[in-house]
Amino acid sequence: MKYESGGVVFIGCIILGVGLGILFDKTGAGSLIGLGVGFIAMGFFRNKR
């Protein structure tokens, strides 16, 4: 099974956003920020391919 780099970056951004949200006691905001950054990063990685 081959992973696309865009998908892996997307999941990483979500996990990072949730982790930062837990750290600052703002889990909802952190997850939404991670989701947004993940979508943008996934778009860049898929366009480079």
Closest CA to 42 of 2, 3, 1, 5: 5
| pLDDT higher at 7 or 28 | 28
For the chain, give every domain's residue range. 5-48
| Entry pTM | 0.79
| 16 CB-near residues (< 8 Å, 6+ apart) | 34
Q: If pLDDT is split at 50, 70 and 90, which confidence band does 4 have?
A: low
CA dist list (Å): 11 to 8, 21, 22, 46: 5, 15, 17, 14
The helix/strand/coil state of 2 is coil
10 contacts: CB under 8 Å, gap ≥ 6: 38, 39, 41, 42
Q: What is the mean pLDDT of the chain?
A: 85
pLDDT band with cut points at 50, 70 and 90 for residue 1: very low
What percent of the chain stands above pLDDT 70?
88
